Structure 1
């Protein structure tokens, strides 16, 4: 049996409910109602207004916008493919939008693409909260957090046929750069289904962030400093060859209170992992000797040859730094 398809026509009853909520003194109690208030009072939007064709960018403008987000789209592409593989057969589309709310790329099934086009869920469409009112992409970008806007939680009555599950994406310096969205226009997608999809979206967004971070610090060692239980992502640190931390994901910046949006001042890894003791020259010699022994399988003669020194010299240096073969 085919899924119920919601109407594309604006719902005047919904518009009235939104305006009543905006005028209510209890509007700020709900996060959705607070967004409705922003939409009506700050942006001056009308929930009963029809969709405007001017909300879509033309080919040249969209091409330039995509070029400016080339690294993000390159990293996100395989994640979008996998995400669509999980939800596409359920009649959902996958979108990624820039910080202005403009859809940069999407994945939609052949049978559903035309309907999503009608709904404005396609590349070039603007879903900024200032343009569309409360919606998954726009509200996610305004609040910088994962959101689900289910059907009649949208501000505009023209959008109540859609459920949107979104998560923000942050770059290697912790700056908000995009929103990842799954939208469904099927009438049989309830809140339980939305909750399951929301979890997929958040996981995929964190995956994109991780890949962006690893790409940014491709020449560094990546250290896992912990996993945030609130689903803000993995706390990853980028460490250079001198054991100095030179980069941190947003989760790591929040955990270690490093701030966001700027490069961090290099600091010893030990300060982040609980070892605040200052390094010494002996520490460096000790590390070199142990690594040589490890590569030589514990054979001192072979380790000495790797370092270009004699066996006796190797032993003297071991003794000086307090290192024995049992280490």
Structure 2
């Protein structure tokens, strides 16, 4: 009997002067990881050899021309550039930023072509990757455009899941960005994601208020009364179990979040501060709503410790395992859905 192919995890290298390379190599230094997946790193073998030597890590990898040549059970490195790169840990470098982009673009192309099953992205510095050709605030926006789909940033750690109505948006612009259409779209994405990617048949979703105390019946801003409440009621009437808006300041302290399968925060810090406080560096950023699976660690480039060998790879490792589990859940869901449709067609 032919041995089943392991999940192929595509990995983009992230900021070359950050901790991305360190957490990637530390994760796969453990040979047991190859029992769960086949990693495919989009970078350059010479560069990874430099990192391996610098961090004194015992890890071996196989260089390949492109993702169609992946060797199952090995650590594969797709050489997406040939130029030599000079690493200066902890420093912003716009020249090196173009290699970060090449890695991400190569991995995304392979993901779309199904040469890899999932994508795990190492942290980037958004400032050094900006150019006329690449003008995106982050991974989420780039991937949404590349895959022609709507997306939602969903932070996950075990049964804690926090999604965002608005992500990389200035606080002064948050209220005007939140419309009934946006709320309905984001609730639909997270509802469908919970069903197909997390095996939750009847998801319960909480929505946090935009203003302090959810506006105090219009005393502190009218957005909660005029936009959030009526939209949530309308969605609920259609059978989706969505509740709120809840006052964000007490929602997590009272552990009310434990009564829901997911929570939707109005803006970035409203959701990310409690999430990172509760997850203690074990969290994963999942881009929900796309046709392909992408996860990442819940931290940044950590320039202050880059190159010192001090980086904790727990979150990156969790991102790898999350991508494997979500891939399997979605595959199972699609198979069940297909079988149900076939049974229905036979009855007709």
Name the TM tier (shorter chain): under 0.3
TM-score (norm 1): 0.27
Q: Larger relative contact order (C-alpha < 8 A, sep ≥ 6)?
A: 2
TM-score, structure 2 as length reference: 0.26
